[in-house]
Amino acid sequence: METILILDFGGQYNQLIARRVRECSVYCEVKPYSTPLEELRAIKPVGIIFTGGPDSVYLDSAPHVDPDIFTWGVPILGICYGCQHMAYSLGGQVTPAQDDSAREYGKTLTRYDTGCRLFKGLPEEGVSWMSHGDYMAKVPEGFALTARSDACPNVAIADENRGFYGVQFHPEVNHTQHGVDMIRNFLFEVCHAKGDWTMGDYKNAAISHLREKVGSGRVLLALSGGVDSSVAAALLAEAVGAQLTCVFVDHGLMRLNEGDEVEEAFAKWDLNFVRVDAERRFLDKLAGVEEPECKRKIIGEEFIRVFEEEAKKVGAVDFLAQGTIYPDVIESGAGDAAVIKSHHNVGGLPDYVDFKEIVEPLRMLFKDEVRQLGRELGLPEYLVSRQPFPGPGLAIRIIGDITKERADILRQADFIFREEMARYGEDRNVNQYFAVLTNSRSVGVMGDGRTYDYTLALRAVTTSDFMTADWARLPYELLDKVSTRIVNEVKGINRIVYDITSKPPATIEWE
């Protein structure tokens, strides 16, 4: 399989690079910069991308890849730190910017040499997204300057003979105009990739890999009924069939009627389906707990304890399967990355797990890729298109203490919000939307009487990859309808607010 190798130097946009490459139907793998060269060479990449990173290449502590990689005869694209790393490794000079004008952050008007293959077919100028405080004082021998800005004459460099390219901006982010076209040019004009990788290929490769890994072993999967776990279940069912037992833990923190819908949806699949009513057990564990990370850890550990108990009932179980996807891994922190928030299926696992090994067949996929894989596996569209729902469920959408009463209030309010979103057709325009029950109470007036009830927050975002997100501009008429219905139909809520914060600085979920 044709592969682009992405070497990770710890930048904040690194996974977006992989996403952009895959959008071009080219397979890629992300590897740490410190991966031994023999392992990287075994991938037989048709091209290599160096990612950005927070370091300065001239520091002793800076990450560096073995310079022998430049002798492979494989095209390389360096982005931001990756560009400076290439220049530094090949004899150039990188220094701190001498004055503020040489530092560039944010949207910057950039002029391109469209005779360079990287910028072929692009306008001669456009906005790029800069984020660098270092300066290439000297570019390596054989490199030409192929893009510039008012503050910097060497925004991009290229050695076309060797297929080496470097840009000091980030083509992978939406803020860079024609950034995806630049990545596409690198893939097809420079690396001569065929662009023939599909989710069908991934499905076949994943099934083959799972069969080899699992062998004759038995697999236990946490089936929440969300997109991720459902696709993981279908993939495993396709691979190992009756060796798979899916445990649906009904922890009492699901959306309205969701438990019954999940059980019905999987009734026709060739797998062992076990539904566990654990509502009381989870609510008792969570009683009085308000700190979000504690909630996640408690729920993650309790999930595992339930799995262990069910595993003993069904006999020997060798593997615990999880629907972990790429954003889960990134936000939970990996390597030098910061922990934004832990995910129950990544950071919340207890030290002792009574299984041979954990398998995560979706670990390298983004959410939209998971949905596409679900379609390839023949899952029904209503399940594939289901709104993202966190493993801890409503526990992290209830701010403060969790009780059955508060969970029921949120369930009803969230159902009304989702129902009206569908009625207005906004469910097709928004990537994720939900309600949050805050722990703020305020005075209201209903039926000429005083109330002192909860404030409910509505959240809706648009995003292509769930790494960044913008708040959705929902019609006022829709918000008015939702607010009116919730206040009138759900006892315990007397005030509705709408969250207009993007990611970053906020995360999509509140906790």
Catalytic: 172?
A: yes
Residues facing residue 496 across a β-bridge: 456
Catalytic: 80?
A: yes
Residue 114 burial (CB count, 10 A): 16
Query: Rounded to an integer, what distance in angstroms lies between the CA atom of residue 501 and that of residue 3?
Result: 37
Which distant-in-sequence residues (6+ apart) come within 8 Å of 279 by Cβ?
250, 251, 252, 253, 404
Q: Across the chain, which distance is largest between two alpha carbons, in Å?
A: 81
Both tokens assigned to 452 = 């002192």
Residue with tokens 């946490």: 222
Query: Rounded to an integer, what distance in angstroms lies between the CA atom of residue 286 and that of residue 150?
Result: 56
Query: Which of these, 332, 335, 345, lies nearest to 303 by C-alpha position?
Result: 345
Number of residues that this document lists for the chain: 511
Query: Rounded to an integer, what distance in angstroms lies between the CA atom of residue 273 and that of residue 266?
Result: 8
Torsion over CA: 299, 301, 306, 311 (sign): positive
Buried b or exposed e, range 402-415, using 16+ CB within 10 angstroms = beeebbbbbbbbbb
Vertex 356 angle, CA 355 and 359, to 5°: 90
Catalytic residue among 28, 80, 191, 246: 80
Catalytic residue among 85, 132, 170, 178: 170
Specify the DSSP class assigned to residue 503: B
Both tokens assigned to 241 = 């069939």
Catalytic: 251?
A: no
Q: Are 28 and 11 a contacting pair, CB within 8 Å?
A: no
Catalytic residue among 2, 104, 172, 509: 172
Residue with tokens 């399967």: 321
CA atoms within 13 A on the CB side of 55: 16
247: left (phi over 0), alpha (psi -120 to 50) or beta: beta
Phi, psi (rounded to 5 degrees) for 105: -140, 135
Catalytic residue list: 80, 170, 172
